[in-house]
Amino acid sequence: MQLNYYDILQVKPNASNEEIRRAYRKLALLYHPDKNPGSAPTQLYFQQVKEAYEVLINPARRDAYHYFLKKSGQDKTPRTVLTVNGLIERAKGQKDYLIQRNYNVAPDTLFFELEHLLQPIHVETLKKEGTAGELSAFKEYALFCVRNFDKTQIRLVVQKLESIAPNNQEWVLNLNHFQKNAIASFYWNKYKVLAAVIIACLTCSIIFYVSK
């Protein structure tokens, strides 16, 4: 189950940034690993507090988080409809955040943010108002964030990007090519350790039989 970041920080959904900062400082002082050495549950909670703070203190990520809550029936607050420039900036922000964190970001976090950017009303905005250059920039930033997704998430993002320009053959072919490579990479990353072990065992077996 997705953790509720507001519950973790013990603040209300309409909390201001200052209230969120104060709550984070208070909990960080109490549950920091340095103050609770050897306590695995405390360290886990501290990581949850840190994750909640990083999402809620960032306006773009907080807005995307509300979209996720709304989809799951936990939030009824209307979300802001973004312009083309706003969508590009949000997608670029996700790319920059991923690089800043050295790609150490939970795929589910990025996925529900991309879902927010690719909801139907935003897709229509991109289709009607986006220039070719703007659409390419948005696609580039969005696809950059897909690298750690599982195959189902990859297909969903690609499908939604395809719907932006379904009649543009080059656009669709490019996305299909990306999807094929991304899913292949997903399987390689998932099974490469097993593959290495099998290859090592086969190599040892060959050497053993040859040396007999």
Residue 19's Cβ-count burial label (10 Å; 0-12, 13-18, 19+) is middle
- Reduced 3-state DSSP string for the chain: CCCCHHHHHCCCCCCCHHHHHHHHHHHHHHHCHHHCCCCHHHHHHHHHHHHHHHHHCCHHHHHHHHHHHHHCCCCCCCCCCCCHHHHHHHHHHHHHHHHHCCCCCCHHHHHHHHHHHCCHHHHHHHHHHCCHHHHHHHHHHHHHCCCCCCHHHHHHHHHHHHCCCCCCHHHHHHHHHHHHHHHHHHHHHHHHHHHHHHHHHHHHHHHHHHHC
C-alpha distances (whole Å) from 113 to each of 30, 36, 59, 162 are 30, 33, 12, 18
pLDDT tens track for 165-190:
999 999 999 999 999 998 998 887 77
CB 56 within 8 A of CB 6: yes
Instruction: Report pTM.
Output: 0.62
CB 168 within 8 A of CB 162: no
Contacts of 39 (CB under 8 A, 6+ apart): 33
pLDDT in tens, the chain (212 residues): 456 888 889 888 888 999 999 999 999 988 888 887 877 777 888 888 898 999 899 887 888 888 777 777 666 454 567 899 989 998 998 888 888 888 887 777 778 778 878 888 888 899 999 999 999 999 999 999 887 788 888 998 999 999 999 999 999 999 999 999 989 988 877 777 666 677 777 777 777 677 66
**Taking Cα atoms as reference points, which of 95, 64, 101 lies closest to residue 80?**
64
pLDDT tens track for 42-52:
788 888 889 89
CB 94 within 8 A of CB 141: yes
**Sign of the alpha-carbon torsion through 185, 189, 195, 200:** positive
CA-CA distance, 91 to 114, in Å (whole number)?
A: 8
CB 81 within 8 A of CB 133: no
